[in-house]
Amino acid sequence: MLKLGVNIDHVATLREARYRGQQGQSRGEPSPVDAAIAAEAAGAHGITAHLREDRRHILDADIAALRKAVNVRFNFELANTAEMVRIALRTKPEIVCLVPEKREEVTTEGGLDVAGQLPTLKRTCKKMAKAGIEVSLFINPDAKQVDASARSGAQFIELHTGQFGEHFGNARTRQRELNRLIAAAEHAHSLGLRVNAGHGLNYENLTTLHAVPHLEELNIGHCIISHAVSVGLPRAVKEMLRLMKGYRG
Ligand code: PXP
């Protein structure tokens, strides 16, 4: 069964739009923890949160509170920096997803250059393994990055579906991006990697992604949180789960 990890970063984005810069423990609405609890109750198989270096949405206190509140798989997204690795080892999520991070970007733009940073990623994978934390590497659907991921010690890759999402409106380029994802998923599976996917997925493009084999989990944020503004989070999560049900692997 294809699993859904709900990324709740944008609940914090909305909160920080009002409360950013305010010191102290008490913060206003909406609460990422309440959202995580609601998503879990609606059937989400995992909760994902990204602690960015600039703390623009999720804050350190959110990560600690989410760790306590989340009963399904907690997927902690982070850049491979000494500070974030320290926080992850202290938090002990079930899994970390290592992502590239640039200050200027609105959201995570490209995949991780695993091939170019293999020694440092290997060190982080080793530390996580020692702490009983699985590792996923967020990569573009590219054979070189898949090959490097298989040598890193990570159990999972998360295929970056952003280009697929961006090209969805054009039949020719959509198929090209879909083919890249299919090839990368097959290649990763053949090397013993487990395969997740995420970024830019939505209610419109989701079923087309069913053509990609070997997927275990999708991490989806923006469209679910946005749809929840109109229909509520439980319904937004359930509608996504319904679309994912037809996946045959
Ligand atoms: N996966 C990763 C690694 C991401 O960085 C993001 C964006 O935070 C997502 C999935 C979710 O993307 P979206 O918000 O477009 O659904």
Question: How confident is the model over 34-42, as a mean pLDDT?
Answer: 98
- Model confidence at 229: pLDDT above 90: yes
- The residues annotated with a catalytic role in the active site are 50, 77, 199
For residue 92, pLDDT over 70 is answered with yes
> Residue 158: CB within 6 Å of ligand 1?
yes
Q: Determine the average pLDDT of the residues in 211-226.
A: 98
User: Which residues does residue 48 pair with via DSSP β-bridges, in sequence order?
Assistant: 7, 75
Q: Of the given ranges (29-38, 100-109, 128-137), which has the lowest mean pLDDT?
A: 100-109
Residue 76 phi, psi dihedral angles, 5° rounding: -100, 115
Average pLDDT of the chain is 95
Category of 10 on φ-ψ map: left (φ > 0), alpha (ψ -120 to 50) or beta: alpha
Q: Ligand 1 center to residue 29 CA distance, Å?
A: 22
> Contact at 8 Å (CB) between 163 and 179?
no
Domains identified in the chain and CATH numbers: 3-244 (3.20.20.70)
* CA 31/CA 246 separation, integer angstroms: 32
Report the 10 Å Cβ neighbour count for 222: 16
Is a pLDDT exceeding 80 seen at residue 25?
Answer: no
User: CA 127, CA 201: separation in Å to the nearest integer?
Assistant: 31
Q: Is 138 in the pocket of ligand 1 (CB under 6 A)?
A: yes
pLDDT in the model for residue 90: 98
State which ligand 1 atom lies nearest to the alpha carbon of 7: 11
Q: Is the CB of 101 under 6 A from ligand 1?
A: no
